[in-house]
Structure 1
């Protein structure tokens, strides 16, 4: 890493958390490894306090383990952890898909489809991180539009823990193309307001995610 990653502008806490989160997602900060706080603080050009606050945020998301007096480490998920989370997430998003087609307004569905189109723009240029972030937003917004607060809470919790896992699911070109095909099926179902079709598309997408990531764990 170089000093070009120095933090400037907007909310310091949010930007530090965002930057460290990206380093975890990209694998620059490796799962199971201790975070070199002194080096990152220097390279980000910040003080210790906002950095520690950012680590607490990431710990709450399940990405970091903060160990008093021992330093923080990047959480490492086992294969069973990932399988279990994807299994539950698949069922949550299946329900979300069914509910969205029942409860969302035409304007809300149009917003999801527009978000998908922006994702496709990044896919066409193979710009992986912006694509990934819009992908995460798509899944979060779908859960939000279910209008079920319990579903939203559990979906957000699991999705946060799987950030690195979902990112590596698109490492191979054929895996990324497969994920895009899944999303095109989701949008087709959304356009029809076909809740059963959308629910199955969401569930199948998460099942395929396991197939795409299991050999990397």
Structure 2
């Protein structure tokens, strides 16, 4: 029989994926605190799923470094290791700087406009104090530049590193508006450099933008 092609395939999300997504968000936004003990039965009840998908989600979260499972004992949210965060930022900054150099030679006008739209949405989220959404837009902005570099290895490595510092970025974005709006201004400078195809400036600015949260955090009392 002929199979129609002009239809949208329904998006189906498994219970495990739903649990994983929600638990990630709760860990990142601080609903689940560092070193907090996690009870799979309580989480299952809160999420409206059985314990099995919650356990599967927790196993994936352990692989991502967001929880630590102690067999026969308990499962806890991992703490934020400041020294390790510094190393992760250094690596991520170098990869993004490399991506920006390449993207500056490949970027098209429509993609420049896309970056401007993402940055405008980022700034609006900051002003509205919608911290989690601001974090999402910030990552979309940087991820688009990485994708434009047309290097699957850079994309893969950046994605892996990003998960480990999302919680730290969330903490930083809770700082006063003047500090976080500076990130939106730096984004505009990065866009201008890419539009001018200034690879060196784009590389320098994006590395500065990514390292600034850690530098500002180090200044806090």
Q: Shorter-chain TM-score: what band? A: 0.7 to 0.9
* 1:169–1:175 Cα contact (<8 Å) kept: no
CA 1:66–1:106: 2 relative to 1, 3 Å: farther
TM-score of the superposed pair, with normalisation by structure 2: 0.85
Report what 2:198 is aligned to.
194
Spell out the pairing of 1:85-164 with structure 2 (5 A cutoff).
85-164=88-167
* 2:40 corresponds to: 37
* Corresponding pairs, count: 209
Find the counterpart in structure 1 of residue 9 from structure 2.
none
Alignment partners' CA distance in 2, 1:36 and 1:215? 36
Query: Which of 51, 64, 68 is matched with 2:67 structurally?
Result: 64
CA RMSD of aligned residues (A): 2.1
Moved more, 28-37 or 75-84: 28-37
Q: Secondary structure at the match of 1:169?
A: helix
Matches of 2:147 and 2:75 in 1, distance apart?
32
Q: Over residues 133-191 of structure 1, what are the superposed CA-to-partner deviations in whole Å (9 max), with x where a residue is unaligned?
A: 11122222221221112211221111111110011111112321222222222222233
* The structure with more radius of gyration: 2
Corresponding residue to 1:166 among 159, 169, 177: 169
How many angstroms apart in 1 are the aligned matches of 2:25 and 2:220?
19
Residues 36-55 of structure 1 correspond to what in structure 2 (within 5 A)? Answer: 36-55=39-58
**Alpha-carbon deviations, 1:107-136, whole Å to 9, x = none?**
333322322222223233232211111112
C-alpha deviation, 1:24, in angstroms: 0.7
- 1:36 CA drift (Å): 2.5
Partner residue of 1:179 out of 178, 183, 192: 183
Give 1:4's aligned residue.
Answer: none
Distance 1:16 1:132 in 2: 20
CA–CA separation in structure 2 for the residues paired with 1:76 and 1:215? 20
The runs of 4+ residues in structure 1 deviating greater than 4 Å are: none
Cα distance in 2 for partners of 1:80, 1:155 equals 19
TM-score (normalised: structure 1): 0.86
**Counterparts of 1:16 and 1:215 in 2: how far apart (Å)?**
36
Give unpaired runs (5+ residues) of structure 1. 1-8
The correspondence for 1:208, drawn from 212, 216, 221, is 212
Question: Conserved in 1, the CA contact under 8 Å of 2:104 and 2:195?
Answer: no
